[in-house]
């Protein structure tokens, strides 16, 4: 599928980590039945996805949509070679993730102090301290689960406005010092642009090297793919994405959510970056998701035109 033989500098292979079952479903009102979540994971796996965030260990009263995370994770673990992650906000959630044998637990930290207090009811440094407790618990139990510190609102946030890049870098280093195995950067509310992405990811790489494991972009303002491309050029080879771009932004009702899995997979493959993904199979899965989420607004672009077609040996050209 690549369009050209030459390739801009960037990793030759990349992972699209599906986060729709967590980041996507948590912001939709209806609760998807467990059977549909399992069917989603099976189909994503069949389409080549090998890293899936299956849910979150948070109290069911806060997020009833993700109350079945243990069951969904147990199913994910039956698929050979699937790396299953969960989000955990604190030590209690981490204990469940460790008991359930998650391959990775992601601890969200908000670089914006205002956002951190509003959403996690902790300062960023209190989250760092929690990561140290999680690491101690992991090591004491001899668990193989990896710990990722996910630094959110890294490009600014609705409550605080600007977030200083120096503070983002400080928190990444603090997370690693506290025992996180790796860190990721997230544009939680769609404030990033490709140039700010390039600058922050380059600085982050200088600071933490290959411990910088993943980029998480939202397409709130239509710059999700451009931001992913900018991050890829700085060496990022793992991206979070949601099938059909589900999710959204609590501060911008109707706005699209995460970068769309099938659009991102198409872009990377088109660029000659190997993802292991079958884009047609992802488009077929998107149609099933549409049926599973009646009345919900789905996002993304590729589904409208499908993959590029060549008609009668001549490329179809739109006037
Ligand atoms: Zn997100």
Q: What is the mean pLDDT of each run of 10 residues along the chain (319 residues)?
A: 61 98 94 98 98 96 96 98 98 98 98 92 97 98 98 92 96 98 95 97 97 96 97 98 87 78 98 97 98 94 91 54
pLDDT of residue 34: 98
Q: Residues near 301 by Cβ (< 8 Å), separated by ≥ 6?
A: 260, 263
Q: Which one, of 95, 109, 202, lies nearest residue 153 by Cα? A: 109
Q: Which residue do the tokens 């993700």 mark?
A: 66
Q: Residues near 209 by Cβ (< 8 Å), separated by ≥ 6?
A: none
111/175 Cα distance (integer angstroms): 12
| Ligand 1 center from residue 217 Cα (angstroms) | 7
206 burial (CB, 10 Å; 0-12 / 13-18 / 19+) is: exposed
Q: Dihedrals φ, ψ of 314, to 5°?
A: -120, 130
Q: How many CA atoms lie within 13 A of 151 on its CB side?
A: 35
- Catalytic-role residue among 157, 214, 242, 249: 249
pLDDT of residue 160: 87
164/154 Cα distance (integer angstroms): 8
| Ligand 1 center from residue 216 Cα (angstroms) | 6
Q: Which residue do the tokens 């790489």 mark?
A: 205
**Is-catalytic flag, 100?**
no
Q: CB–CB of 36/246 below 8 Å?
A: no
| Ligand 1 center from residue 5 Cα (angstroms) | 33
pLDDT of residue 158: 86
pLDDT of residue 3: 54
| Ligand 1 center from residue 313 Cα (angstroms) | 42
| Ligand 1 center from residue 311 Cα (angstroms) | 39
Determine which helix (DSSP H) or strand (DSSP E) holds 315, and give its type and residue range.
strand 314-315
| Ligand 1 center from residue 6 Cα (angstroms) | 32
- Indicate the class that CATH gives domain 4-317: alpha beta
| Ligand 1 center from residue 188 Cα (angstroms) | 5
| Ligand 1 center from residue 299 Cα (angstroms) | 15
pLDDT of residue 319: 47
pLDDT of residue 247: 87
Output the CA torsion 287→292→293→299 (10° steps): -20
Q: CB–CB of 55/20 below 8 Å?
A: no
């Amino acid at each position: 599928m690549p369009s050209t033989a030459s390739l801009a500098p960037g990793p030759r292979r990349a992972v699209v980590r599906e986060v729709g079952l967590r980041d996507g479903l948590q912001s939709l009102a209806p609760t998807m039945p467990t059977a549909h979540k399992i069917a989603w994971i099976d189909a994503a796996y069949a389409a080549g996805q090998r890293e899936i965030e299956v849910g979150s260990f948070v109290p069911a009263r806060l997020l009833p949509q993700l109350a079945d995370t243990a069951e969904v994770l147990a199913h994910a673990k039956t698929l050979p070679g699937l790396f299953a992650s969960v989000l955990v906000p604190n030590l209690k959630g981490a204990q469940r993730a460790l008991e359930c044998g998650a391959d990775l637990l992601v601890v969200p930290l908000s670089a914006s102090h205002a956002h951190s207090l509003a959403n996690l009811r902790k300062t960023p440094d209190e989250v760092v301290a929690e990561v140290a407790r999680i690491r101690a618990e992991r090591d004491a139990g001899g668990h193989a689960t990896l710990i990722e510190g996910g630094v959110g609102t890294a490009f600014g946030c609705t409550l605080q406005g600007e977030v200083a890049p120096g503070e983002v870098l400080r928190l990444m280093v603090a997370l690693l010092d506290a025992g996180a195995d790796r860190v990721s950067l997230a544009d939680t509310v769609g404030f990033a642009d490709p140039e700010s992405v390039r600058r922050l990811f380059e600085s982050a790489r200088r600071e933490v090297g290959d411990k910088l494991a993943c980029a998480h972009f939202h397409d709130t303002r239509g710059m999700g793919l451009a931001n992913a491309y900018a991050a890829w050029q700085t060496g990022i080879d793992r991206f979070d994405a949601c099938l059909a771009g589900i999710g959204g932004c609590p501060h911008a009702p109707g706005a699209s959510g995460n970068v769309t899995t099938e659009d991102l997979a198409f872009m990377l493959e088109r660029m000659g970056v190997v993802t292991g993904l079958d884009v047609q199979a992802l488009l077929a899965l998107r149609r099933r998701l549409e049926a599973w989420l009646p009345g919900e607004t789905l996002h993304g672009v590729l589904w409208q035109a499908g993959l590029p077609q060549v008609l009668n040996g001549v490329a179809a050209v739109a006037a």
